[in-house]
């Protein structure tokens, strides 16, 4: 499955505006961005894959266009998919912040 290169570039541009050092890697049939060696966010098809820290997961499912990330019928705890159509720049930036925060916490 190809990934949405426009969404990937939007993510790259927003991450470049942060103090985080990120590395793009092809994974999950898409492109992920690691922060401090841990996956923070990614693009799978035309959707955003986001790592969410346990402290932040409570409010996530109520957000528009969000569903748990499933691999082979199993839900991956702490990972969510966000539909591409809800990702205006503000919403995308909010998700990136959550993903970077979760990656930073996971690297401790």
Indicate whether this model's pTM tops 0.95.
no
Domain boundaries defined on the chain:
5-103
Q: What is the pLDDT of residue 57?
A: 86
Q: Per residue in 45-65, pLDDT tens? A: 999 999 999 988 888 888 999
The matching CATH number, chosen from 1.10.1840.10, 3.90.1150.30, 3.90.470.20, 1.10.599.10, for 5-103 is 3.90.1150.30
Q: Considering only CA atoms, which of 72, 85, 77, 68 is closest in space to residue 29? A: 72
Q: What is the 3-state secondary structure (H, E, C) of 80-99?
A: EEECHHHCCHHHHHHHHHHH
Q: Per residue in 67-90, pLDDT tens? A: 999 988 999 899 999 999 999 999
Decide which of 65 and 36 is more confident: 65
């Amino acid at each position: 499955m190809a990934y949405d290169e426009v969404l990937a570039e939007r993510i790259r541009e927003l991450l470049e505006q942060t103090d985080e050092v990120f590395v793009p890697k092809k994974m999950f049939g898409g492109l992920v961005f690691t922060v401090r060696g841990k996956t923070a966010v990614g693009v799978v098809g035309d959707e955003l894959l986001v790592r969410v820290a346990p402290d932040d997961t409570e409010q996530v499912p109520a957000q528009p266009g969000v569903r748990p990330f499933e691999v082979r019928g199993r839900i991956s705890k702490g990972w969510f998919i966000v539909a591409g159509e809800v990702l205006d720049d503000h919403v995308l930036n909010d998700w990136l912040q959550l993903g970077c925060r979760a990656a930073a916490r996971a690297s401790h």
